[in-house]
Chain A
Amino acid sequence: MSQGQSGAEQRLVTPGMAVGPSTGKRAGSGIVAANDTFIATQLGWLRERNSTVSVDPINAAYMPRSGDLVVATVAEVRNNLWFMDINGSFQGLLPMSLAPWKVEFGAARQHMDVGDVVLARVQEVDECHNVVLTMKGVGLRRLNQGAVETLPVQHIDRIRGDNNENLQRLREACDCRIMVGENGRVWIDGSLDGIRWARKAIHALASTGHRTDVNELLTTLENELKGDA
């Protein structure tokens, strides 16, 4: 790597920056190959994993992909469908045929109204960014209680950790149900104290998870929780 990452050190790259030769490597997200050289196209941290060079963007809009689990909010209701705010550039569409209930034409509002929060999955995204959601599936449902936190989309992986380790620790520490949507929204449900702690921990992880020891950070937060109790 000429100007980008070498070894475990993270380096910031800017659009147009040459980050190294492309021979024997694959271009991941945020990277294009030109004249046997990888060029960064986004501002972010350079990462090389399994011979794939990519950029972890510092800022990014949520781009839905088929199969994504999302925490969505009802933005509009029509006779036979709901328009859902999925925290992206475009609204998602949830037709009544993909809702978990038997919905009569014109009765969509009786099941979900504007402002309701649901756990849904992205069924389909076409090349024009039309997003179709589904609520047919295990665990997909309307979320009637709990709190929703919105985080930068690119920091969601910090909350999860490798193999959901961080997320599992958070769940166990505060005894809350926590669902992390790919769209940067996190749903937390449990006791008020648990939710309060989880919100604090999630924001701490999202903002500092890349430069501090996550284990240490979580241990400190867990000790704080025990101390409060």
Chain B
Amino acid sequence: MMGGYGDVQLLRDDGLRLDGRKIDEMRPVSIEAGVLPAADGSAMVTHGLNVAVAAVYGPMEAHPRKIQRQDRAVIDVRYNMAPFSTSDRIRPGFNRRSREISKVTAEALESVVLVERYPRSKIRVEIEILAAEAGTRCVGITAAAVALADAGIPMRDLIVGVASGKVEDTVVLDLDKAEDNYGQADLPVGILPNTGEIAFLQMDGDLSPDEFNLAMEYNFKAAKEIHEIMVDALRRRYEGGEA
């Protein structure tokens, strides 16, 4: 885990990372909106080797009734990694990790969706990770945001999931699998690019205040880039005249 593998070289002698990226360079991102015709809104995000598909259903009447809130909608997120998404097969179904990620994703989305517009309702968000290479929770959040916009759900902003971390005492943007496994810290955040607000933040490992600020600087820069790709994906889907 974090910081325990000092013999693994994660930065090359020329200062680049193992996959040839600069320390503040993101993996390539592509987004497609409206990939699932049966869902009210959907999106597929490819971020490096990660592939996530998100589907949104609703707003619908919240069932069971005990989860209903009289003044707002609840967002029901189900994050799941497909058994074939990693090199070692994952046992299908919910586990502790997917429950945690579903919960933090739901809380992040609740802070951007105008939930007060839909009392007693439920908005179902399904996130399926088809291929995983570190940073799947961030990719899932980005996919969910595009799917929610595609479904016509009112939101304050398009939330972007992005992560930075530390490897070999160097702050780097967007960790890949080796950096995530053998690095010293990981800082995934959910950013609202238009307002600069943070809707979700987790930190695994240790960062000094200066390192934290630098990691956040990288995250905000990457969030702006991803946000443009998200908007472009929605434009491509609808400015062609489908709507």
Query: Which residues of A does B touch, CB under 8 Å?
Result: 12, 14-18, 30, 32, 39, 41-45, 57-61, 89-91, 127-129, 154, 208, 210-211
Q: Which residues of B contact A210 (CB under 8 A)?
A: 243
Contact A58 B238 (CB under 8 A): yes
Contact A43 B241 (CB under 8 A): no
Q: Which one, B55-63, B78-86, B176-184, B202-210, is touching chain A?
A: B55-63
Q: Which residues of A contact B155 (CB under 8 A)?
A: 15-16, 41-42
Query: Which residues of B does A touch, CB under 8 Å?
Result: 40-41, 58-61, 70, 112, 114, 118-121, 149-158, 192-195, 230-231, 234-235, 238-239, 241, 243
Nearest first, the 8 A-B pairs at minimum CB distance are: A16-B157, A59-B152, A15-B155, A16-B194, A58-B243, A41-B154, A43-B149, A60-B152
A109 to chain B, nearest CB (A): 23
Contact A89 B60 (CB under 8 A): yes
Q: Which of A15, A30, A58, A154 contacts B156 (CB 8 A)?
A: A15
Q: Which residues of B contact A14 (CB under 8 A)?
A: 149, 158, 230-231, 234
A19 to chain B, nearest CB (A): 11
Nearest B residue to A43 via CB reads: B149
Contact A61 B152 (CB under 8 A): yes
Q: Which of B112, B119, B235, B243 contacts A128 (CB 8 A)?
A: B119
B196 to chain A, nearest CB (A): 11
B33 to chain A, nearest CB (A): 9
Contacts A59-B150, A89-B59 known; list 13 others, CB within 8 Å: A15-B112, A15-B156, A16-B156, A16-B192, A16-B194, A43-B149, A43-B150, A43-B234, A59-B41, A59-B243, A89-B58, A154-B152, A210-B243
Secondary structure dominating the interface of B: loop
Contact B238 A18 (CB under 8 A): no
- Bound together, the chains give a CA A91 to CA B241 distance in angstroms of 32
Highest count of chain B CB atoms <10 Å: which of A39, A43, A61: A43
Q: Which residues of B contact A154 (CB under 8 A)?
A: 152
Q: Which residues of B contact A39 (CB under 8 A)?
A: 156, 194
Q: Which residues of B contact A30 (CB under 8 A)?
A: 154
- Bound together, the chains give a CA A210 to CA B239 distance in angstroms of 11
- Bound together, the chains give a CA A144 to CA B59 distance in angstroms of 31
Q: Which residues of A contact B59 (CB under 8 A)?
A: 61, 89
B70 to chain A, nearest CB (A): 6
Contact A41 B156 (CB under 8 A): yes
Contacts A127-B119, A129-B120 hold; do A15 and B154 have CB atoms under 8 A apart? yes
- Bound together, the chains give a CA A60 to CA B152 distance in angstroms of 5
Contacts A15-B157, A16-B194 hold; do A208 and B231 have CB atoms under 8 A apart? no
Contacts A12-B235, A12-B239, A89-B59 hold; do A58 and B119 have CB atoms under 8 A apart? no
- Bound together, the chains give a CA A154 to CA B158 distance in angstroms of 22
Contacts A16-B194, A43-B234, A128-B70 hold; do A208 and B241 have CB atoms under 8 A apart? yes
Nearest A residue to B240 via CB reads: A211
Contacts A16-B193, A16-B195 hold; do A90 and B151 have CB atoms under 8 A apart? no
